[in-house]
Structure 1
Amino acid sequence: MGKLPPSFRNSFPITALLKNPPSPLPQQSPSLTPPASQPRHVPSSKKSSSSKRKQLKTDRTSDSNSMVFNSPSLSDAKKTFNSIIVSSPAQHLDIRFHNAILQSFSQVSTPQDSLAFFHHMTKTHPSFIPNRSTYNILLSHSCKCPSDSDLSLLHNTLDLMAHNGFPPDQSSVDLVVRSLCSVGREDKAVELVKEFSLKHSPPDSFTYNFFIRHLSKTRVLSSVYSLIEDLQNTVNLKPDLVTYTILIDSVCRSKNLREATRLLGVLRESGFKPDCFLYNTIMKGYCMLDSGNEVIGVYKKMMEDGVEPDLVTYNTLIYGLSKAGRVSESRKFLRVMAEMGHFPDAVTYTSLMNGMCRKGDALGALELLEEMEQKGCSPNSCTYNTLLHGLGKSRFLDKAVELYEMMKSSGMKLETASYATFVRALCRADRVAEAYGVFDYAVESKSLTDVAAYSALESSLKWLKKTREQRTEL
């Protein structure tokens, strides 16, 4: 119940399928998975020849969609490609087909063999003219070779691209950065960003901010700051509003609100004005610390700066105040947000119920559920779990059972905290059979794993057994 609700949190496509292969299909090599047998549609004699050609083309495409390489053998791949070339009309083998077959083989082979297969394709079928997407397949694959410690294979691919009229551009930078980061080679990505910026093309803001976001999750913040400064001094890559928002979000998640305040000052000095999203981010950070005064302070500062709050702002504000125990104050913002054109939703009401239950006013939270429904706002699973947890903890067991039956009839899943509290309350009331029923539902509905569900039930049963033994001794 203490976590932030989920609603508060904030290249090119490569297909692995072969498209437009020839028809009839050549003898398949073991390196390819043969297409599943499909009934052929026999065109009616009344159909025109153009309709027949269209149908045949559809059949070819359908057959190709299940052809993928399974073997990493380069020789098998060459044989398969040769057989397709020999038995197929040239007009059926377009650039999409060549890119798809190269991508398919690249997924199971080494980068070296993929490059060798590429050279074989261009030599065997001279009409195949690679485009940037073709080279990007090789580029992406070369980034993920763990043995290429000095990135020589990657540089060979880049040289090949430049030699054939496709010098690395911003899309290439983006592909390289994302590919290297996906395999944990951030240090190499840093090197490549600097090299690309000096020799070819600097990354655009999307790639730059993706990189900063990734590094802020995998490195200590001081090293990220050093990289930002280094890129700014060496290749004139400067952080923007999104960059500062990423950094502030990172320090807020680590509960370092002092650093978030410092970064906010740096942001202003750099000529940027905080937006609604940034203020919401800082407000969430204070919510994690249960700092109600600071939450209100961020809201007031936001209004002073002329930034209009949105629904997330009010939901965060109400959540933060409720979590800090200032429920009556948070309820006042229901009226304020409505006056501003933002009507309370399930997140708003659930946050209030959460705060009321934490203060022991579970019945008041239950009344708020009625008010919520009367105003046309439908509660969700999180709402019911919050109430079930509160009612179970406050020992309003009959009300909790009624609510549980409603959840069960609607097929709602139980959350770990509400399930454990409810089962514990049932066992303490010596209603063991009902506790077992709740356990069965939790497992059947896949709300919890069998182990987690039984663990909570077992601990409650042990408590009950111990209590009974103590009563017997007395």
Structure 2
Amino acid sequence: MGKMSPSVRSLVSTSLIKKPPSSSPSHKPHTHLTGKPPPQNSGKTQTQTHNPFTSPNLSDAKRVFNSIATSTRNPLDLRRHNALLQSYAAISTVNDSIAFFNHMIKTQPAFSPERSTYHILLAQSCTVPDQTLQSVHQVLNFMVNNGFHPDKVTTDIAVRSLCLAGHVDEAVQVMKQMALKSTVPDAYTYNFLVKCLCKSRVLSTVRGFIDEMKSFGLKPDLVTFTIMIDNVANSKNLREATRLVDELEKEGFKPDCYVYNTIMKGYCMLSKGNEVVQVLKEMQAKGVEPDLVTYNTLIFGLSKCGRVMDAKKYLWIMVEMGHFPDEVTYTSLMNGLCRKGDALGAVALLSEMQAQGCRPNECTYNTLLHGLCKGRLLEKGLELYGLMKKDGMKLDTASYGTLVRTLCRAGRIADAYEVFDYAVESKSLTNVSAYLTLEATVKQVKKARP
């Protein structure tokens, strides 16, 4: 990952952790089923670099299409027809798109539209802000009248398009209507809508939807519960998250690592170290193997609570369990050490981090810079800042503000303005934000002087 520069090496005084075996196991990023469906044929083609239709006027669109059709040596295939329809639908009304669709069929007898062609019109109809769903039903009826009855893909496109347009309640309405017509959505569409509801509605509304869909044979699965647990945990409602885990188990599902990591993250947000450790013990007792995210979350939570020594203990444990510490692991520990006033100990971890082949990122450097300045180690902080400048790293709001205030209080106003110039040049902060922080600090320092 590269050697440590002499200027960083000069910051280091001690070694805090031993080097792991050279053949440290590799690890993959933590992934979890999110309810995303496999690729579906919605009639969409690759992004067009140029839209041939410059006007939404139907007559102009017909002329453009006729010109394209006559100037093409080979007959337009389904893909080209769909691409042209989608291009026009991007700038027209639903009625004009349907009229354009009919024009293509009339002028091109060889063109045989498929379900994917109608799905283009359906996706467009979902963007119309109409609570009555008139445009959606218009396209669905148009499909049926032409021999294409809605299927699960149709339902999925309608639900996703409505949600992406911000019409979540309408998406629920469409799903229920489709289910009543024996077009019951699959688990992917169902869980997608549950996720959208969790983001925009209270939990009672989400539960009401889940209960109502049970009458159509759709029951919550592990993904459904995970989505709800993630939502309540992020809102710091850990009591409800724990209750959902119990409910999940009663339904016959076994909580996986992602579920426990989510709850652990929630306790970290509340700085509850004991509860974080308890989650680890519970998942191990139930035979769920912790992964890299589990240990990183645990180390972050303990470090945030000031229990750095306990966090270091789990650093050793994760290595023994075959999980190689990454930049998240080390940055969490550095943050904990800086919070306890041991900024030099945090800098020592930087040496160990690079010695083990782990490259520090901007968050790592900003954490150290903030800690050094807070710890009244300005010169060492400036050394680190110099490295950040050399590598073109951005300053975050906290480290920038702390560095500027420390420089101003040390009477180094010119240096503070140089940091301001770099923050603006590197686009670390907006010009206004960076300037206001600097000016407020300068005024405060001048006011404090006798």
Q: Distance in 2 between matches of 1:180 and 1:302?
A: 38
Q: Distance in 2 between matches of 1:93 and 1:379?
A: 53
Aligned residues: 414
Cross-structure match for 1:301: 282
Q: Distance in 1 between matches of 2:68 and 2:402?
A: 65
Q: Distance in 1 between matches of 2:43 and 2:419?
A: 46
Cross-structure match for 2:184: 202
Cross-structure match for 1:34: none
Aligned positions of 1:142-161 closer than 5 A:
142-146=125-129, 148-161=130-143
Cross-structure match for 2:91: 108
Which residue of the other structure, out of 311, 319, 339, is the alignment partner of 1:330?
311
Q: 1:9: how far off?
A: 11
Deviations 1:176-222 (A, max 9, x none): 00111122222211111111112142111111111111111111111
Cross-structure match for 2:22: none
Q: 1:163: how far off?
A: 3.2
Q: Distance in 1 between matches of 2:353 and 2:67?
A: 68
TM-score, normalised by the number of residues in structure 1: 0.84
Which residue of the other structure, out of 35, 39, 44, is the alignment partner of 1:14?
44
Q: What's the secondary structure of 1:101's corresponding residue? A: helix
Q: Distance in 2 between matches of 1:398 and 1:260?
A: 46
Alpha-carbon spacing, 1:113–1:433, altered in 2? closer, same or farther (3 Å): same
Which residue of the other structure, out of 170, 175, 181, is the alignment partner of 1:193?
175
Residue 361 in 1 paired to residue 342 in 2? yes
Cross-structure match for 1:77: 61
Q: Distance in 2 between matches of 1:244 and 1:410?
A: 44
- The answer (yes or no) to whether the contact 1:338–1:344 under 8 Å persists in 2 is yes
Q: 1:329: how far off?
A: 0.6
Q: 1:462: how far off?
A: 1.0
Letter in structure 1 aligned against 2:173:
E
Q: Distance in 1 between matches of 2:71 and 2:282?
A: 72
Cross-structure match for 1:50: none
Residue 177 in 1 paired to residue 162 in 2? no
Aligned positions of 1:334-413 closer than 5 A:
334-413=315-394
Aligned positions of 1:81-100 closer than 5 A:
81-89=65-73, 91-100=74-83
Cross-structure match for 2:444: 463
Letter in structure 1 aligned against 2:60:
D
Alpha-carbon spacing, 1:16–1:387, altered in 2? closer, same or farther (3 Å): closer
Q: 1:149: how far off?
A: 3.5
- The answer (yes or no) to whether the contact 1:74–1:117 under 8 Å persists in 2 is yes
Letter in structure 1 aligned against 2:253:
F
CA root-mean-square deviation: 1.8
Q: 1:8: how far off?
A: 9.2
Q: What's the secondary structure of 1:92's corresponding residue? A: coil
Q: 1:83: how far off?
A: 3.5
Residue 165 in 1 paired to residue 147 in 2? yes
Deviations 1:229-261 (A, max 9, x none): 1111x2121111011011011001110000001
Q: 1:298: how far off?
A: 0.1
- The answer (yes or no) to whether the contact 1:16–1:104 under 8 Å persists in 2 is no
Letter in structure 2 aligned against 1:311:
L
Q: What's the secondary structure of 1:309's corresponding residue? A: coil
Deviations 1:283-302 (A, max 9, x none): 00000000000000000001
Which residue of the other structure, out of 107, 110, 119, is the alignment partner of 1:124?
107
Deviations 1:295-336 (A, max 9, x none): 000000010011111000000000000001100111001110
Which residue of the other structure, out of 170, 191, 197, is the alignment partner of 1:215?
197
- The answer (yes or no) to whether the contact 2:43–2:120 under 8 Å persists in 1 is no
Aligned positions of 1:63-74 closer than 5 A:
66-74=50-58
Q: What's the secondary structure of 1:207's corresponding residue? A: helix
Deviations 1:3-44 (A, max 9, x none): xxxx999943624877xxxxxxxxxxxxxxxxxxxxxxxxxx
Q: Distance in 2 between matches of 1:9 and 1:330?
A: 24
Q: 1:88: how far off?
A: 4.4
- The answer (yes or no) to whether the contact 1:315–1:347 under 8 Å persists in 2 is yes
Unaligned residue ranges in structure 2 (runs of 5+): 1-28, 33-39
Aligned positions of 1:277-316 closer than 5 A:
277-316=258-297
Q: Distance in 2 between matches of 1:463 and 1:79?
A: 68
Deviations 1:249-276 (A, max 9, x none): 1001110000001111110000000000
Letter in structure 2 aligned against 1:353:
M
Letter in structure 2 aligned against 1:222:
S
Deviations 1:81-132 (A, max 9, x none): 234444545x331111211111111111001110111111112222110012
- The answer (yes or no) to whether the contact 1:102–1:117 under 8 Å persists in 2 is yes
- The answer (yes or no) to whether the contact 1:17–1:101 under 8 Å persists in 2 is no
Larger Rg: 1
Which residue of the other structure, out of 115, 119, 135, is the alignment partner of 1:136?
119
- The answer (yes or no) to whether the contact 1:16–1:68 under 8 Å persists in 2 is no
- The answer (yes or no) to whether the contact 2:45–2:79 under 8 Å persists in 1 is no
